[in-house]
């Protein structure tokens, strides 16, 4: 094997070698490295010296083999295309997750299955127990993954409320509350005919934002009107198409709540082309507070979400579940914040 291996990278020191240098047994070095309290101060110091001197770093594979823990967490992103490329949601979420994980010395394994075959391979990989826990992001209603890994008994946490009632912990932003506050803001500005361009009906974020929209209307004593509701796909093109339909059906619209900034940007372009002034004729509010919100003209009022925090919280929940210290299912909902900009400014003169 020494001969056959083309690489022969220098292998680091082993426990055995550290033990020899420190003049103790392998077991004692292991105890020191893993912070066991049952080691005398003197021995501990001499082991630590040897560790530093040899630059010893534990071999994770060997450790995994016996502990049956991989020391890694999978993050699975199953997003066809749209949202993934169009807003900085994922980088921010990943950063939050990464931060939450690194403190505990867990590695983040990123899985982005594209094809159904990929998804199948991913499911097999995950169910085989190669990771200690799983973070599921951007779940659609029909995703088979949660069931598969639940059956395999691997702890997992979902980002965003899962639509089907999986017995799973999840972390979500308050989509319903955020949408409600956006629409309340429009109502307070004197708008009366408020349409919404919703998200996909198979995603929690889509469903909940629509619910929040309806909540606000109901509170104001208005009844929901199907001709004012249309589903988009979170993309700019989708937003534009939806806006056109909306405008054709209801030319009397004086406000639009779009469930994403990109869709709002698409809607703005269409409204503009139709000769509507924003915000004078039609006020518009988006969702996400993405960078796009400050490049539209007028700049876009939007609902800001604590994405990094969401990632961090997901990591925290999952690690607790992996430790077994918290077998309970938890649902964490994080608050959103309405960021007011020009697109919804000014009171309409009735």
Contacting positions for a second copy (CB under 8 A)? 5-7, 9-12, 57, 59-62, 64-65, 68, 70, 72, 75, 84-88, 90-92, 94-95, 98-99, 102, 107-114, 118, 121, 124-125, 128-130, 152-154, 236, 262, 265, 291-292, 294-297, 324
User: Applying CB under 7 A, what is the total number of residues that bind DNA?
Assistant: 32
CB of 107 to DNA, least distance (A): 15
From candidates 9, 10, 38, 117, binder to DNA by CB under 7 A: 38
- DSSP for 211-263 reads HHHHHHHHHTTPPP-GGGEEE--SSHHHHHHHHHHHHHH-TT--EEEESSHHH
Q: Of 66 and 248, which has the nearer Cβ to DNA? A: 66
Residue 34 is a binding residue for DNA (CB under 7 A): yes
Q: Which entry of DNA, a second copy, none binds 87, CB below 5 to 8 A by partner kind?
A: a second copy
**Is position 25 an interface residue for DNA (rule: CB under 7 A)?**
yes
Residue 24 CB neighbour total at 10 angstroms: 19
Nearer to a second copy, 215 or 233 (CB): 233
Report which DSSP code applies to 133.
Answer: E
Asked if residues 135 and 171 have their Cβ atoms less than 8 Å apart, the reply is no
Q: Which partner in DNA, a second copy, none is near 291 (CB below 5 to 8 A by kind)?
A: a second copy
CB 260 within 8 A of CB 87: yes
Name beta bridge partners: 264.
none
- How is 318-338 classified by DSSP, letter by letter? HHHHHHTS--S--EEEE--EE
Regarding 14 and contact with DNA (CB under 7 A), the answer is: yes
Least Å distance between CB 17 and a second copy? 15
DSSP state letter for 136: E
Cα gap 317→308, rounded to integer Å: 14
Residues that bind DNA (CB under 7 A): 1, 3-4, 11, 14-16, 23-28, 30-31, 33-34, 37-40, 42-44, 56, 58-59, 62-63, 65-67
């Amino acid at each position: 094997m020494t001969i056959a291996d083309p690489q022969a990278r220098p292998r680091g020191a082993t426990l055995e070698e550290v033990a020899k240098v420190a003049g103790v047994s392998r077991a004692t070095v292991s105890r020191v490295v893993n912070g066991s309290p049952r080691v005398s101060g003197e021995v501990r110091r001499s082991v630590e010296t040897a560790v530093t001197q040899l630059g010893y770093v534990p071999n994770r594979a060997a450790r995994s083999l016996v502990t049956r823990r991989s020391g890694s967490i999978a993050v699975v992103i199953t997003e066809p295309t749209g949202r993934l490329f169009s807003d900085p949601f994922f980088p921010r979420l990943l950063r939050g997750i990464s931060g939450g994980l690194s403190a505990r010395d867990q590695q983040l394994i990123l899985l982005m299955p594209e094809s159904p075959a990929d998804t199948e391979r991913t499911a097999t990989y995950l169910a085989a127990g190669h990771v200690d826990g799983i973070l599921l992001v951007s779940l659609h209603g029909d995703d088979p993954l949660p069931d598969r890994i639940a059956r395999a008994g691997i702890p997992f946490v979902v980002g965003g409320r899962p639509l089907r009632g999986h017995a799973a912990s999840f972390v979500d932003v308050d989509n319903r509350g955020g949408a409600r506050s956006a629409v309340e803001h429009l109502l307070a500005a004197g708008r009366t005919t408020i349409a919404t361009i919703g998200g996909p009906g198979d995603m929690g974020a889509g469903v909940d934002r629509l619910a929040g929209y309806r909540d606000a209307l109901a509170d104001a004593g208005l009844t929901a009107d199907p001709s004012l509701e249309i589903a988009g796909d979170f993309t700019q093109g989708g937003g534009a198409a939806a806006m056109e339909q909306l405008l054709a059906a209801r030319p009397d619209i004086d406000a639009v709540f779009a469930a994403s900034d990109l869709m709002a940007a698409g809607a703005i372009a269409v409204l503009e082309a139709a000769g509507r002034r924003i915000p004078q004729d039609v006020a518009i509010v988006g969702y996400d507070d993405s960078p796009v919100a400050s490049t539209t003209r007028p700049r876009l009022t939007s609902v800001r979400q604590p994405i990094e925090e969401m990632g961090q919280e997901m990591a925290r929940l999952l690690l607790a579940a992996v430790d077994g210290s918290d077998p309970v299912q938890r649902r964490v909902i994080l608050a959103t914040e309405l960021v007011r900009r020009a697109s919804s400014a000014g009171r309409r003169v009735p």
